[in-house]
Amino acid sequence: MQSLEQESSSYAALLASALMDPSRPTPAIVSGPAGKDAIKRYNVYRNNVMVGLTDALAAIFPAVQRITGIDFFRAMARQHVRLTPPTSPLLFEYGRYFPAFIESYEYARAMPWLADVARIERAWLDAYHAADAEPLAADALAAIPPARLAGAVFVAHPAAHIMRSPFSAVAIFAANRGEGTSGQIDASIAEDALITRPAHRRCGVPDEPDGRPPARRGHCIGIPIFPVSRPCREHRRPDRRGCLCLSCTRRNMKVVDQHIGAAERILRLGLLVNKAERLVRAIARPSLVQFVMRAALAVPFWKSGILKWDGFFQLSDTAVTLFTDEFMLHLPGGPYPFPAPTVMAFLSGCGEVTFPVLLVLGFGARFAALGLLFMTMIVELTVPDGWPIHLTWAAMALAIMAWGPGRISVDYWLKRVALEPRQR
């Protein structure tokens, strides 16, 4: 026979089996008065669980919610709740995998720094609930017997968390944690953060000598540490790499000193390379690159399309002749002539004029790129020897479909106007 604890666990598992999936039927163990169906009652309970977990995520990640807007955040949170049910009865433990979910969430790709902001918020809460521990004091270090000093290992405070981001995640987090307004933030500057308690303070890496901001900013909240006196396990092995005791550290530092000069030269070279990369990035702005790519894909189709028309919706004789006598589909067992050549010439002429215009304007750019990708496939079947240039067209079309038209586009401004009311 099962124990009471086993029966409760089994009942809870059956009860929760359909909570996260509205398409699943009500579990058979759930019934109403007199054994009647309890579908509506279970749906109410299911909705309460979903709302409760969504509210918990909103309480843990308030900065993320403020950035995305309430509607966007709750839609994203509901999707996460369905995929990641809770494993702990403590609500503040929920949401550990939410930053990773944001990183893979399709509709959050326009905000690549959002996942790192969520990681900072999660670390902030973990630091708040971490176990108490006294920071290391100078007299405590002095009290360690000299014979055991070499084996002392320093351990980070339980509340200490290290966060490294290629974006300005710390500045974005700080700007959206409160209710005030913030100015423009350059999200491309990498930032580091140390999050812990107590003695909250913040420090930044100073600007470079020419007055420009640094390539990576640092923010810290003083990390307290305390020693754990124990014998060095590495001393029992012939290879001492990785040992943190003081005696091994001094020995390793002697080796490091011999390579300081070489390291400084490599550092200077790295700084020059970094400055050159910044210059290249400043020239090749993503929005400009996306616009140039759209124009480059549109031009050859536009030049081909205008030659197919003698007037408004009036095909030229040359276009019809090409599809009737010249163009063939090179399929297995072929080549074969085009079916309905006049209709194909008309559709080709319309597509080669319409899609490039939409692509350059950035209006429905992804669909225009899809249309030109399809036309590229037809052109490849017609002229197989032109595959190198056709492959280039296909690559540009796929890139536009994957990453969108960029900021220099009608699509971007329409999306911005549509999302602006939600973010207020």
DSSP codes, 78-113: HHHHHHS---SS-GGGTTTTHHHHHHH-GGGTT-TT
Task: Determine the residue type at 173.
Answer: F
What number of other Cβ atoms are within 10 A of residue 218's Cβ?
Answer: 17
Q: Which long-range contacts (CB under 8 A, 24 or more apart) does 103-107 make?
A: 105/76, 105/79, 107/72, 107/76
Report how far residue 325's alpha carbon sits from residue 309's, in angstroms, rounded to the nearest whole number: 18
Beta-carbon contacts of 31 under 8 Å, excluding residues fewer than 6 positions away, are 37, 38
SS3 155: strand
Report how far residue 325's alpha carbon sits from residue 135's, in angstroms, rounded to the nearest whole number: 86
Report how far residue 309's alpha carbon sits from residue 314's, in angstroms, rounded to the nearest whole number: 6
Token pair of 13 as six digits: 């598992």
Partners of 328 in the β-ladder: 337
Q: Taking the mean position of all CA atoms in its chain, how far away is CA 294?
A: 24
Q: End-to-end distance of the chain based on CA atoms, in angstroms?
A: 58
How many residues are there in the chain? Answer: 424
SS3 300: helix
Blockwise average pLDDT, block size 10, the chain, 424 residues: 50 64 68 65 78 89 91 90 82 86 90 91 86 78 78 79 85 78 77 71 38 45 33 42 46 45 65 81 83 90 84 78 80 82 84 90 90 89 86 91 87 79 52
Q: Which helix (H) or strand (E) holds 365?
A: helix 365-382
Q: Which helix (H) or strand (E) holds 192?
A: strand 190-195
Report how far residue 389's alpha carbon sits from residue 323's, in angstroms, rounded to the nearest whole number: 21
pLDDT at 101: 92
Token pair of 204 as six digits: 């930044």
Report how far residue 46's alpha carbon sits from residue 320's, in angstroms, rounded to the nearest whole number: 62
pLDDT at 18: 64
Nearest to 175 by CA among 101, 64, 95, 77: 64
Beta-carbon contacts of 399 under 8 Å, excluding residues fewer than 6 positions away, are 293
CA distances from 290 to 46, 48, 303, 366 (A): 45, 45, 21, 12
Report how far residue 381's alpha carbon sits from residue 172's, in angstroms, rounded to the nearest whole number: 50
Phi, psi (rounded to 5 degrees) for 240 = -100, 15
Report how far residue 346's alpha carbon sits from residue 342's, in angstroms, rounded to the nearest whole number: 6
- For helices 70-83 and 39-60, the axis angle rounded to 10 degrees is 120
The reported pTM is 0.45
Tell whether the torsion through CA atoms of 174, 177, 182 and 185 is positive or negative: positive
Partners of 165 in the β-ladder: 191
Token pair of 332 as six digits: 């297995």
Report how far residue 274's alpha carbon sits from residue 250's, in angstroms, rounded to the nearest whole number: 32
Place of tokens 């399709």: 106
Phi, psi (rounded to 5 degrees) for 329 = -90, 115
The answer to whether 267 touches 274, Cβ cutoff 8 Å, is no
Domain boundaries of the chain, sorted by first residue: 4-111, 130-230, 240-283, 286-423
The answer to whether 197 touches 159, Cβ cutoff 8 Å, is yes
